[in-house]
Amino acid sequence: MLIGKTMVVTGAASGIGKRTAELAHSMGANVISVDRNTPDTPVGDFIAADLSTPQGVQELIDALPDGIDALANVAGLSGTTGVALTLAVNFLGLRALSLGLAPKMNQLGSVINVASIAGFGWRPNLARAKAAVGVLGFPDPAAFAADHGVTDEIAYPTSKEFLLLWTYQAAHHSLFKDKNIRVNAVSPGPVETPILKQFRSVLGDERVDSDIDRVGRAGTANDIAPTILFLASDGARWINGTNIACDGGLEASVMAEAMDF
Ligand SMILES: NC(=O)c1ccc[n+]([C@@H]2O[C@H](COP(=O)([O-])OP(=O)(O)OC[C@H]3O[C@@H](n4cnc5c(N)ncnc54)[C@H](O)[C@@H]3O)[C@@H](O)[C@H]2O)c1
């Protein structure tokens, strides 16, 4: 279902993005790998890009060809580098890239945003997310964080809350809808990649271990990539504006506790 499709994968130098690019390639897609770091063994074409700045995003859009079928927004930061950079990469840059690339995307395309179980709190924090996501363009990330009360401590979960809300909205954005481009999210729980160590320092070992204990093990990049690729495929043609938890049951467990059922 991916044969001949052109797929852009950000964050392709490591972890989930790397595995997504490899698997897409092995399933017949023409992969364009994107990262700020050069992958050890690049899959398909590789474009170096810094997705934390408006200039970096625009340079990437300019460098990409027309005829993109799928955009997998996998690049992300854990929050250890501070709130401005985290919001810039996990939300502002991702959104700017997706909107900017839409004119170069084919009809019936697909945008897949890698969010996180950490964004689970978007509903109770809806007022903040609505106000923040309502700010258009690529504002200065530090001022944007300050305006919406996002601090270093809550940078990561908040960036994913914004991303989830935007995903739901984007599914009905005319730039995508007029071309029947679907916009969905995939939310992993803890996954064994280099970023997990950083989550341990941001969230604490106890929280990460408790999440892992709830489902028996941490996920692997191999567990997440097929879900991203399914959403890129024609098999997901009627799936739009949704968030798929890809976490071994973690969200169900967290929800049962939060909602007491
Ligand atoms: N690993 C987990 O436990 C976990 C859990 C939930 C969600 N996620 C999400 O999955 C996604 C992928 O994470 P991962 O686990 O593969 O981590 P990773 O650290 O292995 O990979 C992240 C990649 O993003 C790239 N990147 C970061 N900033 C960039 C920038 N400014 N420009 C271009 N590329 C940039 C990095 O160079 C790296 O290759 C992230 O969005 C993360 O938030 C991960």
Largest CA distance in the chain: 50
Expressed in angstroms and rounded, the spacing between residue 228 Cα and the centre of ligand 1 is 14
DSSP-based three-state secondary structure for 140: coil
> How distant, in Å, are the alpha carbons of 19, 24, 74, 193, 231 from that of 38?
15, 18, 15, 17, 26
Expressed in angstroms and rounded, the spacing between residue 78 Cα and the centre of ligand 1 is 8
In this structure, how many other beta carbons lie within 10 angstroms of the beta carbon of residue 258? 12
Expressed in angstroms and rounded, the spacing between residue 259 Cα and the centre of ligand 1 is 30
pTM value is 0.98
- Report domain extents, the chain: 6-259
Rounded to a whole number, what is the distance in angstroms from the first to the last CA of the chain?
Answer: 38
What is the mean predicted confidence (pLDDT) over 193-198? 94
Q: What percent of the chain is modeled with pLDDT above 70?
A: 100
Catalytic residues: 156
Across all residues in the chain, what is the average pLDDT?
A: 97
- pLDDT value for 255: 94
The ligand 1 atom at the shortest distance from the C-alpha of residue 53 is 31
What is the mean predicted confidence (pLDDT) over 183-204? 94
Provide the total of helices (H) and of strands (E) in the chain, helices listed first.
12, 7
> How distant, in Å, are the alpha carbons of 63, 74, 121, 125, 219 from that of 105?
14, 18, 31, 32, 31
Mutate to test the pocket of ligand 1, among 22, 50, 195 (most ligand atoms within 8 A of CB): 195
What is the mean predicted confidence (pLDDT) over 20-30? 98
Q: What percent of the chain is modeled with pLDDT above 90?
A: 97
Q: Using CA positions, which residue lies closest to atom 41 of ligand 1?
A: 76
What is the mean predicted confidence (pLDDT) over 105-132? 97
What is the mean predicted confidence (pLDDT) over 27-44? 96
What is the mean predicted confidence (pLDDT) over 95-113? 98
| pLDDT value at 84 more than 90 | yes
The architecture of the domain spanning 6-259 is 3-Layer(aba) Sandwich (3.40)
